[in-house]
Amino acid sequence: MNTTTPTPGTKFRRKIHYVNPRFQGGAALVISAVVAGGGVLFGWLVYRDVGKALWESAMHAHFTMDTPYEIVGNALLMHLAGLSAAVTLLTLVIFLMLLKAVRIGVEHAIASFRASEEGDLSTPTEAGGSTEFRRFGELVDLTRSNTLSRVAALRDEAASLAACGTPDESFRPRWEELKRKMREVAP
Amino acid sequence: MNVTAASPPEPMFERGYRLRFIARLCLAFAAGAVALYAIFYFVLSRPLTGDYSGVFHALRNLSVFLRPVIAVAVLVYVLLVCGAIASVCVYGLHKVAGPLYRMERVMEEIRGGSPTRTVSFREGDQIEPLARAFNDWIGKLRQDRNRWTAAMEDAERECLQGDATCRARMEQALREIVADTSRYR
């Protein structure tokens, strides 16, 4: 039994790979559905062709072959090649579509961050591409609107303090409070 | 590594990442096809022995027995390949999902008003331009905030020299802040 006790210098770092079930699990599910569909189609075709070939051989052939594989080997290999080619091609298409969806979503989010840098915190991100990026775009918009409301509150308070003749005794606490709130912007 | 410095635009996905992902998928399909072939070869390569009647019955029985053989073979293929695909998708797409996840956490901290760091990158992570744009935005926001704070602190320092112009200097700093924040809309 391992009785090693952790020492101060030992690092225990748990690296979680499955961080986004919708994105990672969704992609795995779609590709798995293609594989399962291909497998079922393959099974049906093999059953139809190989079964028929074996039956016909049993009824008509003179059995010059040593094993059943010699009767159906070519048909089996052809179906296997067809299955592999179809599943690989469909998966490639799905993978490329996934990359495209990610690219579209990321480009929208980047445009949104660049606009935010220029001060536009209210134009919606509208990150398309996939559900995951729409959700991410909503989070980006939430963060931007939160930042905008903080900045707007600061602006209003600063304008209020600068404009009206606030008494000195209440000016100083409001000034300090404004400084404190300012530190909460992009902390 | 921390993504902070601006640099020329980079592709969203490294070429090597895409090729590795596709190669792993192809490997999974190839392994599944080999397993499928092996099962059929094992079942169909038994020698046909005996006279006409024996061979006839062997072939006829085999064609009847074929359905469960195919079902098991396809099931093994699907389970094997789907398992491999699940692991390829989880480990491969982690390079995209990871930065998104870390960015979401940082945004959560920003909304909560707690101190945050820039979005960090691990080796092999993709969609780096997104994290860079995000860090640039946060960097600009911090730069603005520091300018506003500095304006207020400058006014406070001038107050130490005398009360006569103190209030006026503070109000001037506030007006500067109002003007500066007006670009945010």
Chain A 44-83, CB below 8 Å of chain B: which residues? 46-47, 50-51, 54-55, 57-58, 63, 65-69, 71-73, 76-77, 80, 83
Confidence of residue A97 (pLDDT cuts 50, 70, 90): very high
Mutate to test the interface with A, among B46, B74, B116 (most CBs of A within 10 A): B74
Confidence check: pLDDT of A179 > 90: no
In degrees and rounded to multiples of 5, residue B2 shows phi and psi of: -100, 135
Q: What is the pLDDT of residue A51?
A: 86
Among residues B8, B106, B129, B36, which one has the least CA distance to residue A102? B129
Q: What is the pLDDT of residue B3?
A: 42
pTM of the full structure: 0.80
CA-based nearest distance B2→chain A, Å: 17
Q: Chain-wide mean pLDDT for chain A?
A: 85
Q: What is the pLDDT of residue A13?
A: 54
Please tell me the distance from the alpha carbon of residue A125 to that of residue B137, in angstroms, as a whole number.
14
What is each CA distance from B172 to B3, B134, B141, B168, in whole angstroms? Answer: 37, 32, 22, 6
Instruction: Confirm or reject contact between B168 and chain A (CB < 8 A).
Output: no
In the chain, the amino acid numbered A79 is H
Confidence of residue A60 (pLDDT cuts 50, 70, 90): confident
Residue of A nearest to B114 (CA): A187
Please tell me the distance from the alpha carbon of residue A142 to that of residue A15, in angstroms, as a whole number.
28
The residues pairing with A149 across neighbouring beta strands, listed in sequence order, are: none
Per-residue pLDDT of chain B (185 residues; tens, 9 = 90+): 444 444 555 677 888 999 999 999 999 999 999 999 999 999 999 888 777 888 888 888 888 888 999 999 999 999 999 999 999 999 988 888 888 888 888 888 888 877 777 887 777 888 888 888 988 998 999 999 999 999 988 888 887 776 667 888 888 888 999 998 888 88
- Asked whether the beta carbons of A187 and B114 are under 8 A apart, the reply is yes
Instruction: Confirm or reject contact between B36 and chain A (CB < 8 A).
Output: yes
Q: Which two tokens stand for residue B176?
A: 């500067």
Q: What is the pLDDT of residue A9?
A: 44
Confidence of residue A164 (pLDDT cuts 50, 70, 90): low
The residue whose two tokens read 């006014």 is: B155
Per the rule left: phi > 0, alpha: psi between -120 and 50, beta: everything else, B155 is alpha
pLDDT digits (tens, 9 = 90+) for A6-46: 444 444 555 778 778 888 999 999 999 999 999 999 999 99
Q: Which two tokens stand for residue A60?
A: 């008509």
Quote the ipTM score: 0.80
The answer to whether the Cβ–Cβ distance between B178 and A122 falls below 8 Å is: no
Count CB neighbours of A173 within 10 A.
9
Q: What is the pLDDT of residue A183?
A: 83
Q: What is the pLDDT of residue A27?
A: 92
pLDDT digits (tens, 9 = 90+) for A45-58: 999 998 888 888 88
Please tell me the distance from the alpha carbon of residue A137 to that of residue A175, in angstroms, as a whole number.
35
Query: Collapsing DSSP states into helix, strand and coil, what is residue A186?
Result: coil
Question: Cα–chain-centroid distance for residue A108?
Answer: 15
Q: What is the pLDDT of residue A185?
A: 81
Per-residue three-class SS string for B137-166: HHHHHHHHHHHHHHHHHHHHHHHHHCCCCH
Q: What is the pLDDT of residue A6?
A: 45
Please tell me the distance from the alpha carbon of residue A118 to that of residue A108, in angstroms, as a whole number.
16
Q: Which of A68, A118, A155 sits opposite B48 (nearest CB)?
A: A68
The answer to whether the Cβ–Cβ distance between B97 and A24 falls below 8 Å is: yes
Per the rule left: phi > 0, alpha: psi between -120 and 50, beta: everything else, A126 is left
Per-residue three-class SS string for A94-105: HHHHHHHHHHHH
Q: For residue A187, which residues of chain B lie inside 8 Å, CB to CB?
A: 109-110, 113-116
Q: What share of chain A is helix, strand, coil (3-state, %, to 5)?
A: 75, 0, 25
Q: For residue B48, which residues of chain A lie inside 8 Å, CB to CB?
A: 63, 65-68
Instruction: Confirm or reject contact between B39 and chain A (CB < 8 A).
Output: no
- Residue with the larger pLDDT of the pair A158 and A65: A158
Q: For residue A152, which residues of chain B lie inside 8 Å, CB to CB?
A: 181, 184
Q: For residue A80, which residues of chain B lie inside 8 Å, CB to CB?
A: 33, 36-37
Among residues B135, B3, B98, which one has the least CA distance to residue A186? B135
